[in-house]
Structure 1
Amino acid sequence: MKKLIQFGAAIFSGGVIVAVAMAILIPSVARVASAVEGGDGAIDVSQFQDYAVRSQVFASDGSLIATLHAAENRDPVPLSAMPDTIKDAVLSVEDAQFYEHIGINLRGLFRALVENVQSGEVEQGGSTITQQLVKKALLSDERVLNRKTKEAALAIRLEGQVTKDEILELYLNTVYFGNGAYGVQAAAETYWGKPVADLTLVDSALLASLISNPVGNDPILHPKKAKSERKLALDRMADNGVITSAQAAEFDAMPLPVGRCTGVVAGFRPTDCGGITQPPEESYFVQEVRQQLLADTRLGATYEERYAQVFGGGLKIYTTLDPIAQNAAQDAHDNTFPANVRAEADSKGITTAMVSVESATGAVRALVGGPGFADYKYDIATHEPGRQTGSTFKTFVLLTALEQGVLPDDTVGGGGSWPNPGSTPNPYVITGGGGTLNGVTASSSNGAFVRLGQTVGLENVMYTAQRLGVSSQFDPRAKSMPLGVFDVTPLEMASAYSAIPNGGVREPSYFIDRVEDRTGTVLIEHAANPTRGVSWQSACLATQILANNVQYGTGTNAQLNGQPAAGKTGTTESNSNTWFVGFTPQLTTAVWMGI
């Protein structure tokens, strides 16, 4: 009897509250909406689209290689791209009368008021999808009558301005589905590794069940709870005639997703998620792209502005990466370090880096920055200070000599002794035979190149390297400079060498072709900036000499089955740094291995 009285009181109280609420609500519509917009009472609909949108990174062939987002992973899609299954599931669970009400559902509101009176607290919202959208975009989450009145008023106003389909599209692109996924597209990718268009009915039922409690109903962390909530969603769909009770029972027996379909991997081989390939979220190449964008003032005057653009501005970032070249580079790394060798190499601190640059343009086509980004995020290929270059630096001595008129068949003397005041050892003594310029390059004679450096002038060698883009600091007093005792990054070495097959003209290396905002406006676009590093004649002669080195000298392992190739090897003391920098007519590559 007590419960019956309580229920009757609840109904009576609920009716009174509804009547009072409506009396307050009706004159509040224009007043509240006007306050939000500040003038004519119309709601600024753009406020509902003021959300973070993930940015996308594309390879040179247009394929997606990464997405960049902060806390909110969102990729808005039009309602027309969403299957009926997701619309039906969400409406069945959240707002079955969506296409019938005016923004508020009096039956739902009354039911919520009854439950609130019974409990003595404001527990149930009774909100329509339109109200939920308004609350998220314009109001606080506080559950008080004044807020509910504003929410209802704005919902009615919004439904008078835009269509039901527009409201549903906004809602499905903003609602949170857990695990960082905002909107149905990101949710479909996160749980099943597929686009929203491929969502099945049972997939859609799970997503609909997540809206009310995306953390508590998480199918990965709380599978039992998630399965129970999915069943409720399926039952709601059956109640609304979307499916039959038999279908609901059949779908209830289907498995839940067991993990997130994203992950960090080395290189660019996509992770696998139920047969669906997913691009990695991060890699050495993407890390470099991200760092460059965060430093580019064209995306904002402050770091905070640039961060918001990169991770929430919905940018389309078109890069220079060639997936075929990248996978070939990763294969070369993996074949050098199979699993059994990798463990031993790791124990000794041995790692590798490789970068390939298109000689004519400077476009970076492939990058391996270390043993694997998941475990080793420091990018040896691009980050200062670099590594000692060993004999690969002799190419700058070679080019300087050619610029001064030395010819391939001219004789170069061997080692000797030179005063070395203020340094050790003093005098500086080096051994190694002489011969023709062509011959001492093929044999990589230390003595001959130290002598040649003294002949052409080490300051001139330094200037040659700098004209070709090497930014490292050199001491021209160091007699050992030709032997590569100063640190240079693999990227700078590849970029510098790339001028040789390009007729002596250097194009600075770059990773980003262009960046567009979500409207298609171009914010950043690469512009060629060619500079002459050495003469065309010197570049041609250097190509000839370095090609001979690959055919007959220290670089024979770089032969390419008849394809033209040229380059120079290099090592430092105890093989702590081992290099090869070489080129074909199209591509220049620097490879480093060491400790």
Structure 2
Amino acid sequence: MKGCHRPHRHFLRNLFFFFGGLTLLIAGFVFLSVATIKIPDFRSFEERKVVGSTKIYDRTGEILLYDVHQDVRRTVIPYSEMGVNIKNATVAIEDSSFYQHRGIRLKSTLRALLYNLLSGKTLQGGSTITQQIIKNTLLTPEKTATRKIKEWILALKIENVLSKESILETYLNETPYGGNIYGVKEATQSFFNKEPRNLTLAEATYLAAIPKAPTFYSPYGKNREKLDSRKNLVLKRMLDLDFINEKEYIQAQTETVSFRPQEKFGIKAPHFVFFIKEYLEQKYGRDVVENSGLKVITTLDYEMQSKAEEIVLNHALENEKKFGGENGSMVALDPKTGQILVMVGSRDYFDKGIDGNYNVAMAKRQPGSSFKPFVYATAFKAGYTPDSIIFDLPTEFQTTCGVYGR
């Protein structure tokens, strides 16, 4: 009877050797891969600079006139300003074990390695939040085994030097939400006109649903039902992870969420905006203006500016018909402070036919009679009165350029 157990023992021994050999093979594969590939310098991640958008506003600080980085709209904010709802919603859908792993999920990693060895195809498996940061900042988007191994190694390195809060802060400041919107601050402003910390649970779950495929899940696109389904998936994950309770789950499911109308992001008061941008570059340097994420509050009164633009356009068109004068400009100053309230540099900045982008208001032209008040004011300060008699005689003035007058 004892002999009947030998085939069984033989099978178990072979099975043990098989898996032992497979484990050694995988370990050898990883060792050789790591030994032969060049890992990017991790310091480049720590030292890199995330460029924020420099924004120019009107005098209220509420109306955005121009975003210097039209192609990338991003405002970097600290972890403390992000709000618990968007943090938990993002972790729930993107990386449910974020607070437990050390950069990679071991089971997923081993499964991906095994898949690659057996099939010879590209490594499969979902990336952790840490891996996604590495993939988007230090590595190329190519899908190869070598790049994946680099990603794992760098993810482990990041987890050893950065806190979970710092990693999640980086992710939420850099993840794309569609179009030129990057980071949770710009996303909440664009979609809900809110600060991240003020998002409702339902709004936060919608926001967390978008980054997987920002164009496909855009709230302004044709796949709103798909977005709704993914938002409900985010809620279910949050419930399963005990981020929310049953009551909060039900309330968020039934909450009606309204997105802001999609804006046509462009430029307001263009002549004034570029006048300000040039001034800032001369004073602080172009690099500061381009890359420091400044919030510039100007003196412009946008309500007055809008009316002035309409007036200049209408009168310029009327003058063109009557007199052939095709353009016009206007500047309005606060007489007490000298602040620029209005600057209209032409009837239409974007009209190439009249060189509309040229700022007529800043052109060097003969001031004519508009200069007389300054002459009179200077004379009065010098003691002249309206009764003073001035002889109309040829007068010469010595200037650095020679004699002026006659």
User: For this structure pair, what is the TM-score category when the shorter chain's length is used for normalisation?
Assistant: 0.7 to 0.9
Residues 313, 19 of structure 1: alpha-carbon distance in 2 compared, 3 angstrom cutoff: farther
- What letter matches 1:315 in structure 2? L
Q: Deviations over 1:138-179 (max 9, x none)?
A: 211111111111111111121111211111111111111112
Preserved contact between residue 28 and residue 150 of structure 1 (Cα < 8 Å): no
Preserved contact between residue 238 and residue 248 of structure 1 (Cα < 8 Å): no
Q: Deviations over 1:66-109 (max 9, x none)?
A: 54324221111111111121111111111100111111112333
5 Å matches for 1:113-262?
A: 121-122=121-122, 124-224=124-224, 225-243=226-244, 247=249, 251=253, 254-255=256-257, 257=259, 259-261=261-263
Residues 291, 335 of structure 1: alpha-carbon distance in 2 compared, 3 angstrom cutoff: closer
Counterpart of 1:392?
370
Partners of 2:71 and 2:295 lie apart in 1 by 19
Partners of 2:289 and 2:23 lie apart in 1 by 47
User: In the alignment, is residue 288 of structure 1 matched against residue 275 of structure 2?
Assistant: yes
Following superposition, the deviation at residue 128 of structure 1 comes to 0.9
Aligned-residue RMSD, C-alpha: 4.6
- Of 273, 283, 305, 1:330 maps to 305
Partners of 2:94 and 2:351 lie apart in 1 by 43
Q: Deviations over 1:373-407 (max 9, x none)?
A: 68896364633255x64422344665787799865
TM-score, normalised by the number of residues in structure 2: 0.72
Residues 184, 371 of structure 1: alpha-carbon distance in 2 compared, 3 angstrom cutoff: same
- What letter matches 2:82 in structure 1? M
Preserved contact between residue 316 and residue 327 of structure 2 (Cα < 8 Å): no
5 Å matches for 1:439-588?
A: 452=392, 455=393, 457=395, 460=397
| Higher RCO by CA contacts (8 Å cutoff, separation 6 or greater) | 2
Following superposition, the deviation at residue 412 of structure 1 comes to 6.2
Counterpart of 1:493?
none
Partners of 2:21 and 2:259 lie apart in 1 by 46
Greater helix share, structure number = 2
Residues 222, 229 of structure 1: alpha-carbon distance in 2 compared, 3 angstrom cutoff: farther
Partners of 2:361 and 2:345 lie apart in 1 by 7
Q: Secondary structure at the match of 1:218?
A: coil
Partners of 1:342 and 1:230 lie apart in 2 by 52
- What letter matches 1:355 in structure 2? A
- What letter matches 1:74 in structure 2? R
User: In the alignment, is residue 353 of structure 1 matched against residue 352 of structure 2?
Assistant: no
Following superposition, the deviation at residue 221 of structure 1 comes to 3.0
Counterpart of 1:52?
51
Residues 255, 199 of structure 1: alpha-carbon distance in 2 compared, 3 angstrom cutoff: closer
Q: Secondary structure at the match of 2:40?
A: helix
Unpaired runs of 5+ residues, structure 1, are: 1-12, 268-282, 300-305, 414-451, 467-472, 480-595
Following superposition, the deviation at residue 232 of structure 1 comes to 3.7
Residues 163, 254 of structure 1: alpha-carbon distance in 2 compared, 3 angstrom cutoff: same
Partners of 2:71 and 2:19 lie apart in 1 by 40
Identity of aligned residues (%): 28
Preserved contact between residue 102 and residue 156 of structure 1 (Cα < 8 Å): yes
Counterpart of 1:69?
69
Preserved contact between residue 52 and residue 72 of structure 1 (Cα < 8 Å): no
Q: Deviations over 1:303-325 (max 9, x none)?
A: xxx2x532332235465x1x5xx
Q: Secondary structure at the match of 2:343?
A: strand
5 Å matches for 1:358-397?
A: 363-364=339-340, 366-370=342-346, 378=357, 380=359, 382-386=361-365, 389-395=367-373
Residues 404, 232 of structure 1: alpha-carbon distance in 2 compared, 3 angstrom cutoff: closer
Following superposition, the deviation at residue 285 of structure 1 comes to 2.7
Preserved contact between residue 343 and residue 361 of structure 2 (Cα < 8 Å): no
Unpaired runs of 5+ residues, structure 2, are: 1-17
TM-score, normalised by the number of residues in structure 1: 0.52
Greater strand share, structure number = 1
